[in-house]
Amino acid sequence: MSSVGTEREERIRWRHRLPREGPVLRHDFLVDRARGKRVVHVGFADELMATKLAQGVWLHGRLAEVADSLVGLDTAEDGVAWANEHGFEAHVVDAQSAEAVDALALEPADVVVAGEVIEHLDAPGPFLRAMRGLVRADGELVLTTPNAYRLLNFLAPLSGSELVHPDHTSWQSPRTLRTLLERSGWEVEGMAYYRNPRRKITREGGLGRYVAGHGANLARALYGQAGRLAPFWSDGMIVCARPAAHQR
């Protein structure tokens, strides 16, 4: 084979068509996916749970309203204790350890929700393999994560800065996430993009914060329009996957 043909094949192998579904609202998508099902929610705890629950915007609380049953898993002992005190079933576990997850002996779920988790992990591969122990053979994993190609990632460096959560360890693209899932025993059934909703702005933080908040919401609105025209620039990705056939 000529060198020209080899180079062409190599270029084709590197090119992957991007999904175009979305953008959708992340919480609404996950709530609809959980409706009437047995759900395990991994990484449910955060420092604003009480406030979000009172406002009706805490994802775990919204899942509890529609799921047939719901179990929360997290590494945060105080968050798990708070959830149990408020009537939710929750367990402390390192979800990157298949042995620790299996030791919980939970009934297999119809849906495992892992929202905004994988980008925080040291070991995403072991995490995804551990998730197989939580889901039924015909169940699904629904995973969300920020999008490596979100438009802001290309605009922020113009200011000499990057915008990234201080606890994040990685960015994922549709191709890298699919590869990671397939290597970990999952078959990807679908991908979509999500957009972040506008935030509720109050004057409690002072005039400067009030103005900055409205400026951020204006940017989100413009950003949302761009996402509708080119969804691959959206804030994040949603992936639905099932255990691979050889794992069932």
Tens place of pLDDT for every residue, the chain, 248 residues? 455 556 656 566 788 999 999 899 999 999 999 999 999 999 999 989 999 999 999 999 999 999 999 999 999 999 999 999 999 999 999 999 999 999 999 999 999 999 999 999 999 999 999 999 999 999 999 999 999 999 888 888 999 999 899 999 999 999 999 999 999 999 999 999 999 876 554 555 555 454 444 445 555 556 556 657 789 999 999 999 999 987 65
Q: Are 237 and 151 in contact (CB under 8 A)?
A: no
In this prediction, residue 208 carries a pLDDT of: 47
Q: How far apart are CA 186 and CA 193, in angstroms?
A: 19
Q: How far apart are CA 44 and CA 63, in angstroms?
A: 10
Q: What is the CA radius of gyration of the chain?
A: 20
In this prediction, residue 245 carries a pLDDT of: 85
Domain segments of the chain: what residues? Answer: 18-247
> pLDDT per residue over 48-75, tens digit each?
999 999 999 999 999 999 999 999 999 9
**The two three-digit tokens of residue 149, written as one number:** 């190609």
Q: How far apart are CA 235 and CA 31, in angstroms?
A: 19
Q: What is the CATH number of domain 18-247?
A: 3.40.50.150
**The two three-digit tokens of residue 85, written as one number:** 């005190």
> pLDDT per residue over 80-120, tens digit each?
999 999 999 999 999 999 999 999 999 999 999 999 999 99
In this prediction, residue 211 carries a pLDDT of: 42
- The one-letter amino acid code at 69 reads S
Q: Are 233 and 151 in contact (CB under 8 A)?
A: yes
42 Cβ partners below 8 Å, 6+ apart? 73, 74, 95, 112, 113, 114, 117, 131, 134
- Please give the sequence-ordered ranges of beta strands (E in DSSP) within 50-95, or none if there are none: 69-74, 89-92
User: Global pTM?
Assistant: 0.85
Half-sphere exposure of 112 (CA within 13 A, CB side): 30
